[in-house]
Structure 1
Amino acid sequence: MTPTRTRISLPGAEVSLCEWTPTHESGSPLLLLHGGGADSAELSWGGIGPQLAAAGHRVLAPDHPGFGRSPRPEWRLTQERLVQYVGELVDALRLSDYAVAGLSLGGGLTVGHLLDRPGQARAAALLGCYGLMPRLADGPLGALTHFSTFLLLRSGLLSAMTRSYARNATAMEKGLADLVRDPEARTPGLVDAVLAEAATGTGLATFGEWQRDQVRWNRLRTVYTDRLPSVHTPTLLVHGDRDSGVPLDRIRTAARLLPDARLVVVPGAGHWVQRDRPDVVTAALLEHLDGRADA
């Protein structure tokens, strides 16, 4: 099922929105927020959007400002401004009784939205969520890894390395192997789509701007962990046990801190968990959403 595309005007930004429309709408609308880098609404959610719509949910997935088919916004890319954009999008779409879910950067935006507008979303889901750890890496070398990344960002070397990597199909395929662990899920079509997004879109540059806002020399600027106990929205956490970017222990801690949370660990899956195991993720989301409808 190909999504329909609409253009949404927001303060200082134009957003391209994908929508998968159910034949009979019987569930809550679901807002899906994609991750960073060479990601977009269709890349992250094209594999599960049709199934969620077939189950009765109106599925809405924006290309964040500066990603996919959405042009760069007039405002500076910060976590706070992106969280504000999510709220503006909810208002523009006139969503009520809705659920929100996000991957990685989108997961962090989901948490930020729940904190910014408490009680507004009826349910939430976090996949490989950003904003739950103080540095980019844990372990004995975590501080060094973080500081090295900070230097690469500030020098511009990381951007140059990313651009070079994005033009190399072999390098891209190897990089995707860390995000999507199942070789059968890491199809040539997916590799080509990510390469095309990296080559033609502004997502990598936009993501770099956001990274420079977030990565300080010794820590990440946004860490939501201490505020999780104030999030009373029923929240599903879905995490691959082979996610090398966000340690599973951090997600387990978040699940304990959230007052109403359920954790689904996906065996063998990496960071792009819905690409790795769309069957598991779709089933978990529908169980979570249907459960909230019955509650």
Structure 2
Amino acid sequence: MTDVVSTVANCAGLKVHYRSAGTPENPPVVLLHGGGFDSAGLSWKHTIPALADDFRVIAPDLPGYGGSDPPDASVSMEYYVSVLGRFLDAVAIDTTALIGISMGGGIALGFALDDPDRVSKLVLVDSYGLGGTVPGGPLGYAFTRLGLTGLTFSLLSRSRTMTALALRSVIEGKPDDVLVSEAFAGLRRHDGTTWDAFQKNEVGPWGLRTNYIGRLPDLAVPTLVVHGEHDPIVPVSWAVRAGTLIPDVKARLIPNCGHMPPREKPTEFNELVREFC
């Protein structure tokens, strides 16, 4: 069994917890989780050991998530892109493959666009940043402004059953008991403050603040776009469109899968990623 080690990196005064596996001599792969109640351990539980034989795998908890410090500046996509640079410096990685899911995909994409020399390959999984439409339209925008995120987190953290229902709204089919337990534990550790702040920065009345569509033709990194065919959060059309705009790209849809391919279809997902990287 692959040993997964928990460590803390000091990123210019910001303590970032991360999980790692594999030998330092192997090429690095950095995994970036999504927002909400996600964390490195939740999204990448099966991916870290699956890649560890061939890569040095590193999965940080972003500031405000998991075991990391709260954010030390206003929470936005630009902030997380800058934190990624600080983290890579702290763990002495010059160039790496980046794999990001949802919000983490947007961070990986933004970093690859700004600093392509530090990214060897890029994998975008049901990624944020590939479109500008607000999920839920005006109602979705109003939700972020009414401060309901904290209330939602509070309700979910009190009920394992409610957590299971929340997961069913983002994945295809019924979540397994292990995933529900891990998500429930994550909700009990956090109050949603960081996710609420990110949404308030990113969600505007007329669309999402971060939309990299116009920059995709300039992306100078080999890219794999992976998307759950039935993702209810990020439209599959965004992934298909990205597959026509990025110069060096492969796009793959995973059937019978929602917003969390690494947990819903770990075998298929890990095979795609290993082959590409």
Structure 2-normalised TM-score? Answer: 0.95
Paired AA for residue 170 in structure 2: L
Q: 2:141 aligns with which of 144, 150, 170?
A: 150
Pairs within 5 Å for 1:22-41: 22=23, 25-26=25-26, 28-41=27-40
Which secondary structure state, in structure 2, belongs to the residue aligned with residue 76 of structure 1?
coil
Corresponding residue for residue 178 of structure 1: 169
Q: 2:133 aligns with which of 135, 145, 155?
A: 135
Shift of 1:12: 4.6
Paired AA for residue 152 in structure 1: F
Q: 2:184 aligns with which of 182, 195, 219?
A: 195
Q: Over aligned residues, Cα RMSD in angstroms?
A: 1.6
Shift of 1:136: 2.0
Paired AA for residue 190 in structure 1: L
Q: 1:122 aligns with which of 120, 123, 135?
A: 120
Shift of 1:218: 1.5
Shift of 1:122: 0.8
Paired AA for residue 248 in structure 1: V
Contact 1:12/1:75 (<8 A) preserved: no
Corresponding residue for residue 67 of structure 1: 65
Structure 1-normalised TM-score? Answer: 0.89
Pairs within 5 Å for 1:1-295: 1-22=2-23, 25-26=25-26, 28-54=27-53, 56-137=54-135, 145-183=136-174, 186-202=175-191, 204-289=192-277
Shift of 1:161: 2.7
Q: Deviations over 1:50-70 (max 9, x none)?
A: 01002x111000000110001
Q: 1:182 to 1:47 in 2, by over 3 A?
A: farther
Paired AA for residue 70 in structure 1: S
Aligned residues: 276
Shift of 1:39: 0.8
Contact 1:178/1:244 (<8 A) preserved: yes
Contact 2:163/2:180 (<8 A) preserved: yes
Shift of 1:2: 4.6
Q: Distance in 2 between matches of 1:71 and 1:93?
A: 17
Which secondary structure state, in structure 2, belongs to the residue aligned with residue 136 of structure 1?
coil
Q: Deviations over 1:188-209 (max 9, x none)?
A: 121111111101135x221111
- Taking only the aligned residue pairs, the percentage that are identical comes to 32
Paired AA for residue 111 in structure 1: L
Q: Deviations over 1:34-85 (max 9, x none)?
A: 000111111111112101002x111000000110001202211111011001
Q: 1:227 to 1:162 in 2, by over 3 A?
A: same
Provide runs of 4+ in structure 1 moved above 6 Å. none
Q: Deviations over 1:229-259 (max 9, x none)?
A: 1111000011010101111111111111101
